[in-house]
Amino acid sequence: MSRLLVFQHVAAEPLGTLDPLIRARGHRISFKNFEREPDAVPQVDRYRGLIVLGGPMNVQDHPHRAHLRHEMRAIEQMLAQGKPVLGICLGAQLLAHVLGAPVQRNPVKEIGWYELHKTAAGASDPVLAPLQARSTVFQWHGCRFDIPRSAVHLASSADCAQQAFRHGDNAYGFQFHLEMDERLIERWLATPAYRDELAGAGLAQDEHAIRAQTRQHIAGLQQQAAAVFNNFLDLVGQPQRRRTLPSREWV
């Protein structure tokens, strides 16, 4: 059975709706949880693909967060081996940094629901194609990546032009969160550190507005997200089934 490696940074940011899609394909998920094992050094050779999730830390924290350095080295190895990589939020910033692009503070934070605009390349991209030309997606970030020189720019928003990119044929960075469902959004809104960040951001969307917009947009997001994630999982391929050896007959 093939395995996908997942880097998780905090308990509040799991795979979300991506988890059942992976399991429905028959893949085994191997989590490397850096909140529990901050000094872990992941080995990537036996995995078919890598998904790097979000988290409250930033790429610039790598001098005092060893796991960020280990993650970037693992991403480099996955890219060198030609295996699919998907970075979400912090994961996308780590992927961009590995590819030589700066990661810095965005002029404003994006927290809540924002309109995403696909570029011409995004409209024809084999993974991102299911997203509408203009889609309302969930965001929670204060930093952004530049588009790496080796990558293709796929999507933007009014407050952050660098929202998605593709490197080669099978490495993707998404600044936004397609993996959300209503329960996970409520979990973030109930997490003290996240609540404090939202309250201090001075944005038009407070928690009540986010809840109202979640009821309006979540079903459409999940439908499109499932199609996007399944397209990415197509790049990973089908699980390798274990061979069943014929029973031996004794005479």
CB neighbours of residue 190 within 10 Å? 11
- The torsion of the CA quartet 4, 103, 120, 48, rounded to 10 degrees, works out to -10
Q: Would residue 179 show up in a list of annotated catalytic residues for this protein?
A: yes
Nearest residue to 121 via CA among 156, 87, 86, 93: 156
CA distance linking residue 101 with residue 95, whole number of Å: 9
DSSP 115-162: EEEE-HHHHH-TTTTTS-SEEEEEEEEEEEEPPPTTEEEEEE-SS-S-
Annotated active-site residue in 13, 71, 110, 179 = 179
CA distance linking residue 251 with residue 247, whole number of Å: 13
Annotated active-site residue in 9, 70, 141, 177 = 177
CA distance linking residue 119 with residue 128, whole number of Å: 10
Q: Would residue 89 show up in a list of annotated catalytic residues for this protein?
A: yes
Annotated active-site residue in 89, 141, 153, 207 = 89
Question: What is the widest separation between alpha-carbon atoms in the chain?
Answer: 80
Both structure tokens of 39: 């000094």
Q: Would residue 143 show up in a list of annotated catalytic residues for this protein?
A: no
CA distance linking residue 128 with residue 60, whole number of Å: 28
User: Which residues are identified as catalytic?
Assistant: 89, 177, 179
